[in-house]
Amino acid sequence: GAAEARFIANNPLSQAQHDLATSILPGGNTRTLLHTSPFPLSMKRGQDAYVWDVDNHKYLDFVGELSAGLLGHSHPTIQSTILSTLSTIGLSLGATTPHEHAHAAQLCARFHLARVRMTNSGTEANLHALAGARHHTGRRKVVVFSGGYHGAVLSFPDGRAAVNTVDKQDFVVVPRYNDLEVARAVIEGTEDLAAVLVEPMQGAGGCIPGTREFLVGVREAARRRGAVFILDEVMTSRLAPGGLGAEMGLEPDMVTLGKYLGGGLAFGAFGGREEVMRVYDPRVEGGLAHSGTFNNNTLVMCVGAKVLGEVYTPEVCVEFNNRGDRFRERLREAARGSRVSFTGRGSLIGLHFTEDGVEDIACGEDIKAQIKPDLRDLFWFEMLEAGFWTTRRGLLAMILGTPDEELDRFVEAVKGFLEKRRDIMAL
């Protein structure tokens, strides 16, 4: 209604940009997720924890490039590494390089991987991990979870496989996350099972943390069936120094990674136990090929090695996520007694508008019927007006170096929103 009308009035250049783009890109878009109605905001630049749209509004960036932008828009180490790599090393060299080894060594040490391979995205990492698990086991089926997101071609909303380019028949979707009994039954009942693929916290599914009991139980069920237990840490590797799986003691067979680990450049990786990753050793007969022109491009390899080695050290990681936990607590406090819930862990926060304002959401299926998209959209429009760039669907991915005063200001903005709408927001 009124909020959307103000949005249209305030953003003429974004609207014009969108209209132009639709004549070239389907829907004016090349990342489906970023389409929002009536038209998406068009950003022209970012600096530190801020972005500016084409109509020249400045926003605190809570989108954080869906978690890949953890380091912010102009981290000095990332900038100088990109520039020095360009001037002293060059771009892709069409060969293996010591730089790729340096990045791989960091990944293996930090995330407890015996072997690792690099890709250009988290999606690719998951596809190759699945291919590896299938080759290793000589089986085909994969168990995944409703609400799980493993990349644009591997998405499982509403208990179904909304996948493209891969064969739907190969995926068996467990209808409820965090429900060990149901998961066990599906895993035990699936013939020809190659792998179980799961996020330790569902990210796109709403920042819903998995319980240790559930995740360990799923691993054990997978092992009993001789299937490979793959932990998708593309989103969650930032939550603890060795990733969320290590923090929770999950001991996966394979792990997939991506997002900020390339310093904000295109990146993904998959790795794990030697006997599984062996299928990717070109010296092994009958193994699997995994090529990709940009898999070891010098920019990402050199930047990536710095990310873990110098910037996102274990100490920084712990402090950053503690800060996130404190921030979420303040948001929860501000929203108590209202229809807003804040979920997540550490620096990743999920925001939900539900009928009964439930705080600990164990499974997206439990709240789906009562989600309030109108309130969610209203919140998004009003946060924009207050200078906060958040995702429409409610993910807040914090950026390192966001000033404390900005977090305070957001808590106040949330309070203000709830106060103003007490009639519809109070429980």
Say how many C-beta atoms besides its own lie within 10 A of residue 235's C-beta. Answer: 28
SS3 content of the chain, % helix, strand, coil (to 5): 45, 20, 35
Q: For the CB of residue 207, give the shortest distance to ligand PLP in the complex, in Å.
A: 10
Query: Between residues 304 and 357, which has the closer beta carbon with respect to ligand PLP?
Result: 304
What is the amino acid identity at position 123?
Answer: T
The radius of gyration of the chain from alpha carbons, rounded to an integer in Å, stands at: 22
Query: Between residues 268 and 357, which has the closer beta carbon with respect to ligand PLP?
Result: 268
Query: Between residues 150 and 345, which has the closer beta carbon with respect to ligand PLP?
Result: 150
Query: Between residues 142 and 335, which has the closer beta carbon with respect to ligand PLP?
Result: 142
Bridge partners for 148 per DSSP: 156
Query: Between residues 243 and 357, which has the closer beta carbon with respect to ligand PLP?
Result: 243
Q: For the CB of residue 304, give the shortest distance to ligand PLP in the complex, in Å.
A: 14
Give dist(CA 417, CA 424) in Å, integer. Answer: 11
C-beta nearest to ligand PLP: residue: 122
Look up residue 65 and give its two tokens.
């490039």
Q: For the CB of residue 52, give the shortest distance to ligand PLP in the complex, in Å.
A: 24
Q: For the CB of residue 201, give the shortest distance to ligand PLP in the complex, in Å.
A: 9
Query: Between residues 137 and 236, which has the closer beta carbon with respect to ligand PLP?
Result: 236
| CA distances, 172 to each of 159, 195, 296, 378, 392 (Å) | 9, 10, 33, 36, 29
Which residue is listed with tokens 């920019």? Answer: 299
Which residue is listed with tokens 């599984």? Answer: 276
Q: For the CB of residue 148, give the shortest distance to ligand PLP in the complex, in Å.
A: 8
Q: For the CB of residue 185, give the shortest distance to ligand PLP in the complex, in Å.
A: 24
Query: Between residues 121 and 402, which has the closer beta carbon with respect to ligand PLP?
Result: 121
Q: For the CB of residue 413, give the shortest distance to ligand PLP in the complex, in Å.
A: 26
Query: Between residues 84 and 164, which has the closer beta carbon with respect to ligand PLP?
Result: 164
H/E element, 88: helix 76-88
Query: Between residues 163 and 234, which has the closer beta carbon with respect to ligand PLP?
Result: 234
H/E element, 306: helix 298-306
Look up residue 181 and give its two tokens.
């009994």
Which residues of this chain interact with ligand PLP, rule CB under 6 A?
A: 66, 121-123, 126, 149-151, 199, 203-204, 232, 234-235, 258, 268
Give dist(CA 425, CA 356) in Å, integer. Answer: 10
Q: For the CB of residue 343, give the shortest distance to ligand PLP in the complex, in Å.
A: 15
Q: For the CB of residue 420, give the shortest distance to ligand PLP in the complex, in Å.
A: 32
E-strand ranges in 298-427 read 340-345, 348-353, 388-389, 395-397
Pair 35, 60: CB distance under 8 Å: no
Say how many C-beta atoms besides its own lie within 10 A of residue 408's C-beta. Answer: 12
The three-class DSSP label of residue 51 is strand
Look up residue 72 and give its two tokens.
């912010």
Bridge partners for 371 per DSSP: 354
Query: Between residues 244 and 335, which has the closer beta carbon with respect to ligand PLP?
Result: 244
Pair 369, 19: CB distance under 8 Å: no
What burial letters (b/e) apply to 309-322, b meaning 16+ CB within 10 Å?
bebbeeeebeebbe
Q: For the CB of residue 389, give the shortest distance to ligand PLP in the complex, in Å.
A: 17
Look up residue 278 and give its two tokens.
């062996």
Q: For the CB of residue 350, give the shortest distance to ligand PLP in the complex, in Å.
A: 12
What is the amino acid identity at position 86?
Answer: L
H/E element, 15: helix 12-21
Query: Between residues 51 and 348, which has the closer beta carbon with respect to ligand PLP?
Result: 348
